[in-house]
Structure 1
């Protein structure tokens, strides 16, 4: 049986945890507070935790200098579509690799896993040429098709496979006795049981799509088509220098919704990884 900590031990433990949190919490706090400061106060030393004269002018300029609302919508709907598409593809592929026996199964899965070893920078040029031939440059199709059907979905497939392998075979045998086919077993039995793994896949897929930077720079050229990571680089003055308070305001608007989602969904994320046997 685990021994309960004394009040003094709890106090020490919480104090150590608070100290360890400082390197992680302070940059986010500084970003948010500096977005309310004038440029002259952003780099004051020592840095202040709160703005001396808070102003929201930087947030107004975020929407004046760029179509930030449209760019926010672009990132949101792309991330949602990519997440849903990845859930469908990875769950079906993971179930097939885990529960369906066929010749060359392990070899094919090993080939799929090699997608984790290929950096996106290696494939970006041939993918650009392919999408250019299809007339999809300066559209959102490359940002949707590549993550759903390409190497980024390999990790999701691996997680789903690990989860489906752990399911008892008696469930499928009972389902077959009830007259269910292969797809019905996947849809009505395996998929509902895979909610923890689906939650983990959904969270890291959404975050990956939301923070995608290289691909939008390569495929998109029109400001109205930009996603948020690409839009953040556009807040510069007439001399090409960064507008720090405006960039920090845009970064705060970009980061906080995702941070809130992760804080509220972190339990499902941890449980999903634990159920797949990942460490």
Structure 2
């Protein structure tokens, strides 16, 4: 009887969660299926969950109207470089704030955390002037350097610091007995144990870089240098109106890396945030 009751409760929970997931799943489903419809069917009422006559014309036009393959590659390699750079900077900074005691440590940490309180819109003009002076406008360098040393890296540093604080001190003491220096303790003891936190930082950083919009439209002007979010706004007709089927097809292609990264690494993401004390 108890087993049957537990099974019933489990089915009830699964049903409730499935219903609760509809508002989150339906927009993605509508986007993907509407990309296979003609424009007249996209806005038909009542809307259809499946296309009546699926067609791939919109996907072909995505690559005909713009150098979308190059733009897709731009977003991919920028997101990868930003993720690697942020992991390096935030893990080093987080370890230093958690394990190295120095004068003014707490004050410096508060100053660093204040970076989270400054909107990107406030700093975009001075950043443009600075990169313009360096001759880096209409290049990808601002999209790589700003996130690595900006607010997203500050959040990553907080996550890494919270994780390193939870590590037992005895691990480092054993390492010192074996003759390890400070960097060796970080590299050989701290970093291998920080895989859950590193996974959480990697996912958040990759998604933030992939979805970055304000900085690309400020720093980039050549279509071949565009990133995907910027490219999505340029699928328009001769009158400047949106090509809805093409935009939905491009958006569906754009969403694939985000969905794959989260589905593959969601367990590490949840575990990493739970171990850093940032859950809830």
Q: Check whether TM > 0.5.
A: yes
Distance in 1 between residues matched to 2:44 and 2:9, nearest whole Å: 38
Which residue in 1 is equivalent to 2:170?
170
Distance in 1 between residues matched to 2:166 and 2:110, nearest whole Å: 19
Which residue in 2 is equivalent to 1:195?
195
Distance in 1 between residues matched to 2:103 and 2:158, nearest whole Å: 19
Residue 150 of structure 1 deviates from its aligned partner by 1.9
4+ residue segments displaced more than 6 Å: none
Residue 261 of structure 1 deviates from its aligned partner by 1.4
Which residue in 2 is equivalent to 1:137?
137
User: What aligned pairs does 1:35-114 form with structure 2 within 5 A after superposition?
Assistant: 35-114=35-114
State the secondary structure of the residue aligned to 1:137. Answer: coil
TM-score by length of 1: 0.97
Distance in 2 between residues matched to 1:119 and 1:267, nearest whole Å: 30
Structure 2: runs of 5+ lacking an equivalent: none
Which residue in 1 is equivalent to 2:22?
22
State the secondary structure of the residue aligned to 1:46. Answer: coil
Distance in 1 between residues matched to 2:144 and 2:153, nearest whole Å: 11
Structure 1: runs of 5+ lacking an equivalent: none
Distance in 2 between residues matched to 1:251 and 1:96, nearest whole Å: 40
Which residue in 1 is equivalent to 2:265?
265
Residue 4 of structure 1 deviates from its aligned partner by 8.4
Residue 22 of structure 1 deviates from its aligned partner by 0.9
Distance in 2 between residues matched to 1:224 and 1:269, nearest whole Å: 33
Distance 1:238 1:164, change over 3 A: same
State the secondary structure of the residue aligned to 1:234. Answer: coil
State the secondary structure of the residue aligned to 1:242. Answer: coil
User: For this pair of structures, how many residues does the alignment match?
Assistant: 278
Residue 164 of structure 1 deviates from its aligned partner by 0.5
Distance 1:183 1:5, change over 3 A: farther
How well do the aligned residues superpose, as a CA RMSD in angstroms? 1.3
Distance in 2 between residues matched to 1:4 and 1:86, nearest whole Å: 49
State the secondary structure of the residue aligned to 1:6. Answer: helix
Distance 1:100 1:4, change over 3 A: farther
Residue 264 of structure 1 deviates from its aligned partner by 1.5
